[in-house]
Amino acid sequence: MSSPDAAQTDAHDREPHVGGLGGKLNWLRAGVLGANDGIVSVAGLVVGVAGATAARAPIFTAGLAGLVAGAVSMALGEYISVSSQRDTELAMLAKEKRELQEDPESELAELAALYRAKGLSEQTADTVARELTAHDPLIAHLQAELNLDPTELTSPWQAAGASALSFVLGAILPLLAVLLSPAAWRIPVTVAVVLVALGLAGALSARISDTGSRRAVLRVVVGGAAGLAVTYFVGHLFGAAVA
């Protein structure tokens, strides 16, 4: 028969780590959005060029350029955005360290007030604040005040890499579809592949967000179809005018 301490330890091990799970879901959601962006951007580009010319070389050049430029743009934008977020997190962390060093008693009172505001009695809030402060005052304040874990700060490089990779994976689909299809079937095959991919991305995004999948799928498929139609006719009209 297991001891109460062992049972408690086993129960703790089985508990989901909500913070880590939330972070993974955010990365997955960002990856789906990046892939969706890659699908739509490069599909619109190659379909537009295909509307202007049947030659494979210009379509390949335009698609490859769009893939590379889009991946670089996504990575750079994500790096800048996450770097700003990380700078803010580091600044808040440094501020809490400084305040704990300069006036620990006021910080203890502030922590107790936070727990009273969450519904604990005055005595319980004071006890919790003192025990958490005795264990690790910085962690206690960061989690209670800022909901920030110093061991899980955002990484600009990881964000940039994930964003670029997801964009490339999405962009490859329409590029391969338009290059591998016969000239007469190039546009319909590419449109079909893109709409199916967008539908799958919309369903996955809805599943991650725990929302209705039908509306999400319909939204991205209709939007993607409209974008492809516009770029095709623009390419066809301007291609004919230039020719």
- Cα dihedral 135, 139, 144, 147 sign: negative
CA 158 to chain centre: 11
Looking at residue 142, what is its pLDDT? 78
pLDDT at 176: 92
Residues 136 and 151: beta-carbon distance below 8 Å: no
pLDDT surpassing 70 at residue 15? no
pTM > 0.85: yes or no: no
Least trusted range by pLDDT, from 17-21, 40-44, 86-90, 195-199: 17-21
Supply the pLDDT for residue 240: 47
Which pLDDT value is given to residue 24?
Answer: 54
- For 44-94, write each residue's pLDDT tens digit: 888 888 888 888 898 899 999 999 999 999 889 889 988 888 888 888 888
Going 219 to 222 to 225 to 228, the CA torsion angle's sign is negative
CB atoms inside a 10 Å sphere around CB 31: 20
State residue 225's pLDDT score: 79
pLDDT digits (tens, 9 = 90+) for 106-142: 888 888 888 888 888 888 888 878 888 888 887 877 7
Q: Which residue has the higher pLDDT, 18 or 87?
A: 87
Q: Which residues are CB-contacts of 173 (< 8 A; sequence separation ≥ 6)?
A: 39, 43, 193, 194, 197
Alpha-carbon dihedral angle through residues 65, 232, 165, 155, given to the nearest 10 degrees: 100
**Half-sphere exposure of residue 51, counting CA atoms within 13 Å on the CB side?**
20
Place of tokens 């962690």: 139
Q: Is 25 a residue whose pLDDT tops 60?
A: no
Question: Which spans in the chain are helix H?
Answer: 4-14, 18-52, 56-102, 104-117, 122-135, 137-141, 156-180, 186-209, 213-242
Instruction: Specify the pLDDT at position 21.
Output: 46
Considering only residues 221 and 11, tell me which one the structure prediction assigns the higher pLDDT: 221
Residue 19 pLDDT > 60, yes or no? no
Q: How confident is the model at residue 168 (pLDDT cuts 50, 70, 90)?
A: very high
- pLDDT value, residue 14: 38
* Total residues belonging to the chain: 243
Dist. CA 116–CA 110, nearest whole Å = 10
